A = this chain, B = another copy of it.
Amino acid sequence: MPKLGMEPIRKAALVNATIAEIGRTGNLDVTVSQIAKRAGMSSALAHHYFGGKETMFLAAMRHVLTLYGAEVGGALAMAVGHEARLHAVVRASFGPANFRREVVGAWLNFYVMAQTMPEARRLLGVYQRRLRSNLMHDLRPLVGVRAARVSETLAALIDGVYLRQALSPASPDGAAAIALVLDALTIELAPGVAR
């Protein structure tokens, strides 16, 4: 039965199963057996490949963060102009790949992980700094010194929309989220506001 070169396949399956299970239960009380079962293998094999539960959680987190980064990067690559690039970041943040029930649920729990696991905190820190950097880069030419303030506001707004989605019984509505955030952005960019 043993086919060779299973490792990457099994690891990927486990990572996906981890995200799915966290999203399904909504918390971190997910057993290795549940994850392994969903990934179609025994719990012992999960331990064999990842060494422990914590490592699995971190791998899942890294995966979500990577997907998010790729989505943003792709959108940025074909956006021209500062405002268009800002829109691209927002749209990628609520794109169908990221703004899904299970991913939103997982994201919420990443924040909980970060309270305890230094590596999780580090990963979220990287995400936050990159988001801030992306926003600042295109805000500075548009609003000057207000860039820092505005990017902080936008980042909090994006996180807040995610958080509220985690509580909502309705399935994520990316379009509405994008409209909300872009609206706020537009107002921040309105000419009279430069102060």
Task: Write out the residue numbers on chain B whose beta carbons fall within 8 Å of the beta carbon of A115.
Answer: 25-27, 105, 108, 166
Partner of A28, one of B27, B149, B155, B188: B27
Please tell me the size bucket of the interface on A: 35 or more
Taken together, the copies of this chain in the complex come to 2
Q: What string of 1s and 0s marks CB contacts (under 8 Å) between A152-181 and chain B?
A: 110111111101101100000000000010
Indicate if A54 sits at the interface (CB-CB under 8 A).
no
Secondary structure of the A contact surface, majority rule: helix
Q: How far is the CB of A171 from chain B (nearest CB, A)?
A: 15
Interface residues of chain A, those whose CB is within 8 Å of chain B, are: 25-28, 105, 108-109, 111-112, 114-116, 121, 124-125, 128, 149, 152-153, 155-161, 163-164, 166-167, 180, 183-184, 187-188, 190-193
